[in-house]
Amino acid sequence: MTDPNMIAANGAYLSQNIPLFAAACALLLLLLGGLGVLLQRDNSLLRMRAVAGNSGGTSGFRLTKSRSDAPRGLAKALIPDDPSELAQIQFQLNKVGFTHVNAVQHFFVMRLVMAILPLVLVFGAVALARAGLLPVSARDAVLGFPPLGLMQIAAVGTAIGFYGPSYLLRTQIKARQARVRNGFPNALDLLQISVEAGLGFDAALARVGTELSRVSPEIAYEFLTLLNEVNAGRDRETAMFDMAERMGIDEAKSFVLVVVQSMQFGTSLTKSLRAYAIEMRENRELSAQEKANKLPVQMSAVMSLLMLPALFLITLTPIIIRYSAIY
């Protein structure tokens, strides 16, 4: 027969721990809901609504978010205001599969959740251990851990969760910008040769993008994306400036300005590209000379750090031996 005292004890235990069970279920539902929002993808209906909402009179369809979609309210505290940085983050998130129209906002919300999650896990583990809901070995390990150590674990986890995703993303962005900066002069030379050979600007972009698909896939992607947006009906000038923002280098922005001004004022695009290519070669040579001139200073610092300990050792060792022998 069932012991009435045991039944009463189990009922009292469950009644005392109902708030803990409710909090755990609420936290689980919150995490699942956040993951569902972050993993949401754009379907055709959402894309059609985005295109219809961002379309403008003479500018045609806008295939990306407009500049007016700035963060508002509490989002301003999480999302940076720099358009170039936002474009780079949007590009990197698209490359890893997050193609939602609000992928940037979701990324920063996910970073905030990852920063709060270690705190919730640490305090939740302590609360469950004190309530007796954990196994005996886990409960003893949690309760036997120093409180200061638990706070340190929570602080380190919060810092890693908050700054880790941004650091990894910034590292990828800087690496991509370096690859674009190294390959852009060659791409401009090929574009200039193609235009001088008689191809139109769009045909030259398509040819250069195809030729650079293996050597500089980032530049090829940008050129072909620009062509696809223009062919879809987007304004050429807006698409080119967005391409420069995605590249994130000053050379690309200057190139877009040269092309746009040449088209607006009716000047020769071939001469403009030739003049800008010469300027880029000179800037590249000056940059190489600057790096070469910095090497002696950098080498002197390293050599001094390596040589000074040996010099001090050679100079002071006889003095130390002499005084040790006297005293």
Q: Where are the domains of the chain?
A: 182-283
Give residue for tokens 């090829």.
Answer: 220
Using 50, 70 and 90 to split pLDDT, how confident is the model at 51?
A: very low
Query: Cα separation of 208 and 276, whole Å?
Result: 17
pLDDT at position 311 over 70: yes
DSSP 3-state of 101: coil
Give residue for tokens 């890693």.
Answer: 160
Nearest to 259 by CA among 207, 188, 160: 188
The average pLDDT across 313-320 equals 86
pLDDT for 246-259, tens place per residue?
888 888 888 898 88
pLDDT the model gives residue 94: 67
pLDDT at position 63 over 60: no
Two structure tokens written together for 192: 């200039």
pLDDT the model gives residue 6: 54
**Helices in 197-249 by DSSP H: which ranges?**
201-211, 217-231, 236-247
pLDDT the model gives residue 107: 83
CB 243 within 8 A of CB 252: yes
Give Cα 107 distance to the centre of its chain.
9
The average pLDDT across 136-158 equals 84
pLDDT the model gives residue 53: 46
Q: Which residues contact 273 (CB under 8 A, 6 or more apart)?
A: 188, 191, 192, 195, 258, 259
pLDDT at position 66 over 70: no
pLDDT at position 12 over 80: no
The average pLDDT across 76-83 equals 68
pLDDT the model gives residue 67: 43
Query: Cα separation of 287 and 280, whole Å?
Result: 10
Two structure tokens written together for 18: 């109902």
pLDDT the model gives residue 57: 38
Q: Which helix (H) or strand (E) holds 144?
A: helix 136-144
pLDDT the model gives residue 74: 57
Query: Cα separation of 275 and 192, whole Å?
Result: 10
Secondary structure of 255-269 in the HEC alphabet? Answer: HHHHHHHHHHHCCCH
Using 50, 70 and 90 to split pLDDT, how confident is the model at 199?
A: confident
CB 227 within 8 A of CB 205: yes
Nearest to 238 by CA among 76, 87, 72: 87
Using 50, 70 and 90 to split pLDDT, how confident is the model at 327?
A: low
The residue length of the chain stands at 327
The average pLDDT across 95-99 equals 56
Question: pTM higher than 0.85, yes or no?
Answer: no
Nearest to 78 by CA among 42, 116, 40, 49: 116
> Roughly what angle, to the nearest 10 degrees, separates helices 250-265 and 269-326?
160
The average pLDDT across 192-219 equals 88
Q: Which residues contact 196 (CB under 8 A, 6 or more apart)?
A: 270, 274
The average pLDDT across 198-216 equals 89
pLDDT at position 161 over 60: yes
Mean pLDDT of the chain: 76
The average pLDDT across 109-116 equals 84
pLDDT the model gives residue 28: 66
